[in-house]
Amino acid sequence: MLRNIIIRIIINSAALWLVDELFDSIWFTNTNALVVTAIVFGLLNTFIKPVLLLFTLPVNILTLGLFTLIINAFILKVADYWIDDFFINGFTNAIFASIIISITSIILNNIFKDKK
């Protein structure tokens, strides 16, 4: 279980680092902020995202799941609000970042998938 948590933190860190490298409007002041943001982002995805998905289920069905990108962007902006050393300029940038983070997470999860 601890191994899976560490792998999730590493995957989130890698995805957030990639977003930091790709976008000038998203940045971290140091590496510690990147790791803390990955942990907070993971916790928000674990506890807040399911509630938001439940409340927005009709909209999500109407948009064929694309509204999930808006929820991911909102979670990124919440992480930006809570962490002083993580910055996102604008909600549009958060939407594009959520797309990159989702794609990166899918790829890395498939690479590091536990084969039992």
Mean pLDDT by 10 residues, the chain (116 residues): 87 95 94 94 94 96 94 96 94 96 93 73
Beta bridge partners of 28: 86
Whole-angstrom distance, CA of residue 2 vs CA of residue 55: 31
Q: How many domains, in total, are found in the chain? A: 1
pLDDT at 4: 85
Give me the domain span that covers residue 47.
2-110
Residue 51's pLDDT is: 96
Does some domain include residue 115? no
Residue 85 lies in a domain: yes
Residue 8 inside a domain? The answer is yes
> Is 57 inside a domain boundary?
yes
Distance CA 59, CA 48 (A): 17
35 CB burial (10 A radius; 0-12, 13-18, 19+): middle
